[in-house]
C-alpha cells in the first residue's frame, strides 16, 4: 500500500476530496517521517508538531464541509529558515540573530500558503544567511544527503530538499541566489524551480539584492506549478515584484515539447568538466526530449563564465549582512562567510557598477539567444554530491562554492527562470539533475517541458532508502 509520505501534494488533495484519508493523517505521517529520519540528516531547525496538527484538524473540518480554504488546504509544507514564518524565530542559520521577539509576520510566499490552508511542519536548515552552496552552519551543524549521509545535501536550501526527498511534506519553500534551490534539488533527487525574478514576491528584501529568488521545491513539476499558482500572488511589501501573471501555471503544463527549439549545452562550450555519470544521464533525457518532438541542437550560449562579476555582487551582499554587527558578533560568523564579507567590504561603488555592466550584457546575450531557442538545457551541476561539511569537493582545487556551480549562478545574474529536474542516478546511486532555462517571464515553458519529461518517465528517481 502506498504510504502517505510517498504522495505528491496533488495526490493528497485528491485523496482529501474523495475522503480516502484526511489532512490529519497526512500530517501525522509527515511528522513521523521527520522523527524517524531527522537524527541522520538534520533537515529541520524547528518542528512544531502541535501547531501542525491543530492546523490539520482545522483543514479536516473544512474538507468535511466541502469548503477547502484554497489550493493546498491540508498539505504539509516546510519553509527554509531564511523566510519569515510567524509564531517562531527566523534565525537564518546564524548565532548573531536573537530569537527573542514577536515574530508575528509571514513572508509573502508563506502568507499565500497560509491563506490557502497549508499545514506548516516547521523551518528547514540553511547555511548562515544562505551564503553558500552547501548546508552547514555554526548554529545548526551539517545537513546530510538522504541517499548517502556521508555526503552533502547541497545548499543553501539543503534542509528543504532533504525534507521533500524523504517525504517530510511534499512541498517546501526555498530561496535561490546562485543556485540555492537547484543545487540541493539536484543532489537530493527532487524538482525545484527558480522563477523569474519578481514573480514570487520577497520580503524582507535580501541583502543579495536582485540575485535572490523564492521558489518551490517539490516531488515533481506539477506540484511546483500548483505551488506557483499559490505563491506568485502580489504583495505590496515587495516593490520589485512583477505584475499579475497571464494565467494558471497548472493550466500550462500539458502543451508538451513538440516543436520547441531546444539548445543543449553539455559543458558551456567546453568551459566545464562534467562527471561522466552526470553527462550520460543528462544526455539520455535530452534524447528523450527529441523523441517527444522537440528540435534539439547541441550548441552553447554566448558567454564566458561571469564569475568575477558574480563574486563582486555576492560578496558585497555578504558584507552588507555583517555591516551592522559589532566585532564580537562578527566572530560568531561562519569563518567562510566572515572571509567573503572582508572581500566584499573592499569593493568600491565603481567595482559594483562594473559588475552590473557585466550582468546587463549577459542578460542581453541571453535575450538574443532565446530569440532562436525556446529552452536551454544543461546539467544542473557537473558532479553529484560530495563529502558533507565542506564548501568545495576535496582535492577539487576550487576555493569557493561557485567553482563547482558554473551552470546555476549565471541565471541569477540574468533573472531567468530555471529548474532542476532529476533524471537518473550515477554509478554510486547518487541523483543527477538536468537544468532547464527559458527567457525571462517564460516560467510556464520551463514547467511544461519538465512536466513532459515526468509524463514520459524520463524524470524522477527512486526515493532514498532511509
Annotate 160-219 with DSSP letters as a single string.
HHHHHHTTS-SEEEEEESSSTTHHHHHHHT-EEEEPPTTSS--SSPPTTGGG-EEEEEES
CA angle 391, 392, 393 (to 5 degrees): 135
Quote the mean pLDDT of the chain: 97
| CA-closest candidate to residue 109, choices 255, 264, 217 | 217
Report how many helices (DSSP H) and strands (DSSP E) the chain contains, helices first.
14, 15
pLDDT at 292 over 80: yes
The residue written with cell numbers 523523441 in the block is 291
Helix or strand or coil: residue 4? helix
Contacts of 231 (CB under 8 A, 6+ apart): 108, 109, 112, 113, 173, 200, 214, 216
DSSP letters for 298-341: E---S----HHHHHHHHHHHHHHHHTTS-HHHHTTS-HHHHHHH
Local confidence band at 163 (pLDDT 50, 70, 90 cut-offs): very high
- Report pLDDT digits (tens) over 88-122: 999 999 999 999 989 999 999 999 999 999 999 99
- Report pLDDT digits (tens) over 16-67: 999 999 999 999 999 999 999 999 999 999 999 999 999 999 999 999 999 9
Local confidence band at 245 (pLDDT 50, 70, 90 cut-offs): confident
- Report pLDDT digits (tens) over 118-134: 999 999 999 999 999 99
- Report pLDDT digits (tens) over 365-403: 999 999 999 999 999 999 999 999 999 999 999 999 999
- From the candidates 180, 206, 232, 420, which is the catalytic residue? 180
Rg (CA), the chain: 20
d(CA 450, CA 171): 17
- Report pLDDT digits (tens) over 296-349: 999 999 988 899 999 999 999 999 999 989 999 999 999 999 999 999 999 999
State the helix-helix crossing angle for 221-231 and 443-455, rounded to 10 degrees.
150
Contacts of 435 (CB under 8 A, 6+ apart): 182, 377, 378, 379, 380, 407, 408, 418, 419, 420, 421
C-alpha cell at 121: 511542519
Other C-beta atoms closer than 10 Å to the C-beta of 403 total: 15
Local confidence band at 246 (pLDDT 50, 70, 90 cut-offs): confident
Cβ 422 vs Cβ 452: under 8 Å: no
Give pLDDT, residue 324: 86
Cβ 40 vs Cβ 144: under 8 Å: yes
Question: Any idea where the domains of the chain sit in the sequence?
Answer: 4-237+253-455
Helix or strand or coil: residue 405? coil
Cβ 46 vs Cβ 122: under 8 Å: yes
pLDDT at 2 over 80: no
pLDDT at 451 over 60: yes
- From the candidates 80, 123, 132, 194, which is the catalytic residue? 80
Give pLDDT, residue 255: 92
- From the candidates 156, 206, 265, 316, which is the catalytic residue? 156
Share of the chain above pLDDT 70, in %: 100
Domain 4-237+253-455 has CATH 3.90.1300.10: yes
Local confidence band at 233 (pLDDT 50, 70, 90 cut-offs): confident
pLDDT at 1 over 60: no
Task: Assess whether 156 carries a catalytic annotation.
Answer: yes
282-309 mean pLDDT = 96
Amino acid at each position: 500500500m502506498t504510504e502517505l509520505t510517498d504522495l505528491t501534494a496533488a495526490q493528497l488533495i485528491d485523496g482529501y476530496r474523495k475522503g480516502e484519508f484526511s489532512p490529519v493523517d497526512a500530517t501525522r505521517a509527515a511528522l513521523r517521517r521527520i522523527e524517524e529520519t531527522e537524527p541522520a540528516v538534520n533537515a529541520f531547525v524547528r518542528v512544531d508538531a502541535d501547531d501542525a496538527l491543530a492546523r490539520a484538524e482545522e483543514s479536516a473540518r473544512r474538507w468535511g464541509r466541502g469548503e477547502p480554504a484554497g489550493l493546498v488546504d491540508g498539505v504539509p509544507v516546510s519553509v527554509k529558515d531564511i523566510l519569515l514564518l510567524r509564531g517562531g524565530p527566523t534565525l537564518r542559520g546564524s548565532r548573531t540573530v536573537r530569537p527573542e521577539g514577536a515574530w508575528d509576520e509571514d513572508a509573502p510566499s508563506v502568507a499565500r500558503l497560509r491563506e490557502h490552508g497549508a499545514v506548516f511542519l516547521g523551518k528547514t536548515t540553511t547555511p548562515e544567511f544562505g551564503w553558500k552552496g552547501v548546508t552547514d552552519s555554526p548554529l545548526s551543524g551539517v545537513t546530510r544527503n538522504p541517499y548517502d549521509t556521508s555526503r552533502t545535501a547541497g545548499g543553501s536550501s539543503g534542509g528543504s530538499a532533504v525534507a521533500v526527498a524523504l517525504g517530510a511534506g511534499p512541498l517546501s519553500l526555498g530561496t535561490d541566489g546562485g543556485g540555492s534551490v537547484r543545487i540541493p534539488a539536484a543532489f537530493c533527487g527532487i524538482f525545484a524551480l527558480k522563477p523569474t525574478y519578481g514573480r514570487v514576491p520577497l520580503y524582507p528584501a535580501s541583502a543579495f539584492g536582485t540575485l535572490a529568488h523564492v521558489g518551490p521545491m517539490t516531488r515533481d513539476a506539477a506540484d511546483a506549478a500548483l505551488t506557483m499558482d499559490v505563491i506568485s500572488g502580489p504583495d505590496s511589501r515587495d516593490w520589485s515584484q512583477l505584475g499579475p501573471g497571464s494565467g494558471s501555471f497548472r493550466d500550462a503544463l500539458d502543451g508538451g515539447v513538440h516543436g520547441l527549439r531546444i539548445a543543449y549545452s553539455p559543458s558551456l562550450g567546453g568551459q566545464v568538466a562534467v562527471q561522466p555519470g552526470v553527462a550520460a544521464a543528462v544526455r539520455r533525457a535530452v534524447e528523450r526530449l527529441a523523441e517527444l518532438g522537440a528540435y534539439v541542437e547541441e550548441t552553447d550560449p554566448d558567454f564566458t563564465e561571469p564569475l568575477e562579476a558574480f563574486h563582486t555582487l555576492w560578496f558585497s551582499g555578504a558584507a552588507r549582512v555583517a555591516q551592522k554587527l559589532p566585532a564580537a558578533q562578527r566572530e560568531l560568523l561562519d569563518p567562510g562567510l566572515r572571509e567573503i564579507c572582508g572581500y566584499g567590504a573592499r569593493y568600491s561603488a565603481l567595482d559594483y557598477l562594473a559588475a552590473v555592466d557585466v550582468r546587463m550584457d549577459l542578460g542581453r546575450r541571453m535575450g538574443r539567444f532565446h530569440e532562436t531557442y525556446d529552452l536551454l538545457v544543461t546539467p544542473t551541476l557537473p558532479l553529484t554530491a560530495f563529502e558533507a561539511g565542506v564548501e568545495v569537493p576535496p582535492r577539487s582545487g576550487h576555493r569557493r562554492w561557485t567553482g563547482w556551480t558554473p551552470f546555476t549562478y549565471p541565471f541569477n545574474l540574468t533573472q531567468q527562470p530555471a529548474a532542476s529536474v532529476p533524471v537518473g542516478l550515477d554509478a554510486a546511486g547518487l541523483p543527477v539533475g538536468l537544468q532547464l532555462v527559458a527567457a525571462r517571464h517564460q516560467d510556464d515553458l520551463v514547467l511544461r517541458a519538465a512536466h513532459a519529461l515526468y509524463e514520459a518517465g524520463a524524470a524522477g528517481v527512486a526515493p532514498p532508502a532511509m
